Homo-oligomer: A and B are copies of this chain.
Amino acid sequence: MPDPIRVVQYGLGPIGQSTVQTVLDKAASEQIQLVGAIDIDPEKVGRDVADLVGRDTPTGVTVRADADAVLADTTPDVVLHTTTSFLDRMSDQLVQCAEAGAHVVSSTEELSFPYDRHPALAQQLDQAAKENGVVIVGTGVNPGYAMDTLALMATGVCVDVSEVHVQRVVDASERRKPLQEKVGAGITEAAFAEKKATGTFGHIGLRESLLLLADGLGWALDDIEETLQPMVAERVVETPFLTVQAGEVAGIHHAITGYKTGEPALTLDLKMYVGADDPRDAVQVEGDPPIDLVIKNGIFGDTATVGALVNTVPLALEAKPGLRTMKDLPVPRAFATSALAAHA
């Protein structure tokens, strides 16, 4: 068996802590090993990551704020990067990892298809990655899988495709409290309109998913139309964290359409709300053959984002150096699964 993949965790917010848990769970497989942890939060610096994530057995990996020092001391194969959703706030962190010779798998939503929103940064990152012989890639459940890579995969046996329609319906009732708040559950329609006007409300990455899908199909879109509307509760919805009255906002309906020669060729329709009917991930391919794919009950996002990140670690090692997207990597698959070993 090859040596374990040496991983540094960069960013120890909720997602970073979850990826640490998963990497530590998988360490018994001897296929992956946590060798370093980076965060600037004074509450976290100096603590063993085991302590930080609530595990009893110390790992010997201490959270440090000096990223350069951690990267130099630990020489990771791959950095799992989970610091922010926005690329322009942290592209220097990605370059820093690349210059340390480490591949980067990042949860940064804008990195899942950075060429449109940040073309200059994308070029810099591609250059830094190529010069250092590493891969930089952004992924997660959405963007990164449910509404883009899975949709591409659904077209994989079609001799022709004219349209692709993707739906994701998430019952936010089952998700953590910050997500319920993030989608506006329990606020008024007026408050929703105010939040929307700030321009920072809604799901991050829908445009990136659309463009990743279009790029994978080789389609140049003429026009893109994006809408964000409230899902309004028709009845009282109670979750473990809050109550939404009928007529209040239950969540978001965020949709984007890509047009080709005047036709809505690609549609991505995302509903995240408490009390959702028929949660699912669905892809309809109008093509030859047509494909009508459904993941019943949908993909549980809190776990799946962590899965997407950790499962991409070995795939990044296989891809050509440079800034890459999920369409450039080998087919996603679960990595270093432990459950059956536990049967023994």
Chain A residues proximal to chain B, CB less than 8 Å = 22, 25, 31, 141, 145-146, 149-150, 152-163, 216-219, 260-263, 265, 286-289, 291-297, 299-300, 303-308, 310-311, 318, 320, 326-341, 343-344
Contacts and interface: CB of A to CB of B under 8 A. Distances in A.
A224 to B, nearest CB: 15
Given A217-B334, A217-B337, A159 B306 contact: yes
A339 B287 contact: yes
B331 A332 contact: yes
A293 B296 CA distance: 6
Contact of A339 (B162, B332, B333): B162
Please tell me how many copies of the chain the complex holds: 2
A216 B146 CA distance: 20
A336 B90 CA distance: 36
Contact of A300 (B289, B293, B305): B289
A218 B336 CA distance: 7
A337 B158 contact: yes
Contact of A340 (B261, B292, B310): B261
A334 B158 contact: yes
Contact of A218 (B295, B327, B335): B335
Contacts of A25: 159-160
Q: Which residue, A163, A295, A333, has most C-beta atoms of chain B within 10 A?
A: A333
Contacts of A263: 340, 343
A340 B260 contact: yes
Contacts of A292: 295-297
A338 B288 CA distance: 11
Contact of A159 (B153, B307, B343): B307
Contacts of A31: 218
A311 B157 contact: yes
Contact of A157 (B145, B297, B327): B145
A160 B318 contact: no
Nearest to A219: B340
Nearest to A18: B159
Contact of A155 (B158, B297, B333): B333
